[in-house]
Amino acid sequence: MTAKTGGIRGPGIFLAQFLAAEAPFDTLANQARWAASLGYKGIQLPTLGPQCIDLQRAAESQAYCDEFKGICAEAGVEISELSTHLQGQLVAVHPAFDNLFDDFAPAPLRGRPQARTAWAVDQLKLAARASRRLGLAAHATFSGALLWPYLYPWPQRPTGLVEEGFAELARRWLPILEAFDEAGVDLCYELHPSEDLHDGVTFERFLAAVGDHPRANILYDPSHMLLQQMDYLGFIDRYHPRIRMFHVKDAEFRPDARAGVYGGYQAWVDRPGRFRSLGDGQIDFKAIFSKLTQYGYAGWAVLEWECCLKDSAQGAAEGAAFIERQLITRAERAFDDFAGVASSTSRNRGLLGLK
């Protein structure tokens, strides 16, 4: 199984959902060999946990990064991107969620929201420098959320609340975006429920608040759009210039008489909208890969496994071949070139009846 060239790269796999204390998920070398054995060409790496990259060392030491890349190359894979989803979440946390999100921070910072935010911002800046040393073009994260408790407009929101929320979010992220710009790396927000950036409208609000910053980009994951009942194909048409990363994740939405998009506080397996392993849901990946190829997306296609029915081992084993089947080698010539005719300005004007 070989990756196609001249277009979307892949298949890749995001390792966050597979990390464990036991082999083959306990060390980078074991994770890389496991991924390669399933046919993956790239691994997307989380950056929290003992099995993960040391961001401080990676930001400061080229030798450490070269060793890290060498371990992957020896196994037959390369690093597609790094992820700071959990740290990004902590850049902006509404107090209602302080206790729950404290678990994402080091123990000494728990119960200290300002110190926790400062640590998260530093983590993102380290990730920018680490990505540069690793030769990566893009980075994955979450935006965090100050406005999520006010998602539904009841009780009525006071005038200016949403604008102030996005202004504060921009103030927190602008120094980080500048760090990524200095590193030459795109910062890609996964548009995700529970984050202030969760759809096209919220991304546009944020983009306006950060002055259309060139490093503010999108991690495209159609599963979150399907579960919000969005047009995930039209989204590519509209936002393709900002799509710099791609999670290949399936989902299904089957409304019933008891629950809809909010899910009724039910567990994932009982919700009308739920994530599925690749090929088991409703998402039209042939159309997605076609559109991304049409618009010249040349980043990685990375499996993110989050199925509530199928075991992770089976999902991962099936995922590489599924992505491989979607990859398109972009056409280098038009199909009707064999019937081409000579062209000149005078001939074209003559054909138009012009002198």
For the stretch 191-231, pLDDT in tens is 999 999 999 999 999 999 999 999 999 999 999 999 999 99
User: Which band of pLDDT confidence, cut at 50, 70 and 90, is reported for residue 349?
Assistant: very high
The stretch 82-102 carries a mean pLDDT of 97
> Are the beta carbons of 177 and 187 closer than 8 angstroms?
yes
Domain 9-351 belongs in CATH node 3.30.1490.120? no
User: Which band of pLDDT confidence, cut at 50, 70 and 90, is reported for residue 337?
Assistant: confident
Q: Is the pLDDT of residue 1 over 60?
A: no
The confidence score (pLDDT) of residue 92 equals 98
The confidence score (pLDDT) of residue 333 equals 85
Residue 68 has, within 13 A of its CA and on its CB side, a CA count of 25
Q: Is the pLDDT of residue 5 over 70?
A: no
pLDDT digits (tens, 9 = 90+) for 149-194: 999 999 999 999 999 999 999 999 999 999 999 999 999 999 999 9
> Are the beta carbons of 143 and 189 closer than 8 angstroms?
yes
% pLDDT > 70, the chain: 98
Q: Which helix (H) or strand (E) holds 111?
A: none
The stretch 236-263 carries a mean pLDDT of 97
The confidence score (pLDDT) of residue 335 equals 85
CA angle 164, 85, 165 (to 5 degrees): 5
Distance CA 26, CA 22 (A): 5
Q: Where would I find the beta strands (DSSP E) of the chain?
A: 9-14, 42-46, 78-84, 138-141, 186-190, 216-220, 243-248, 250-253, 273-276, 300-303
Tokens linked to 42: 């790239």
Tokens linked to 65: 């990064």
The confidence score (pLDDT) of residue 4 equals 43
Distance CA 221, CA 226 (A): 9
The mean predicted confidence, pLDDT, of the chain is 96
Task: Return the bridge partners of 187, or none.
Answer: 139, 216
Q: Is the pLDDT of residue 354 over 50?
A: yes
> Are the beta carbons of 261 and 229 closer than 8 angstroms?
yes
Tokens 């306006």: give the residue: 208
What is the torsional sign of CA 136, 140, 146, 152? positive
Angle of helix 62-75 relative to helix 113-134, nearest 10 degrees, comes to: 70
User: Which band of pLDDT confidence, cut at 50, 70 and 90, is reported for residue 51?
Assistant: confident
Find, among 225, 222, 200, 189, the residue nearest to 92 by Cα.
189
User: Which band of pLDDT confidence, cut at 50, 70 and 90, is reported for residue 6?
Assistant: low
Tokens linked to 37: 């054995």
The 8-class DSSP code of residue 262 comes to: T
The stretch 262-266 carries a mean pLDDT of 96
Q: Is the pLDDT of residue 236 over 70?
A: yes
The stretch 281-298 carries a mean pLDDT of 98
Distance CA 259, CA 83 (A): 33
Q: What residue ranges do the domains of the chain occupy?
A: 9-351
**For residue 188, how far is the Cα from the chain centroid?**
6
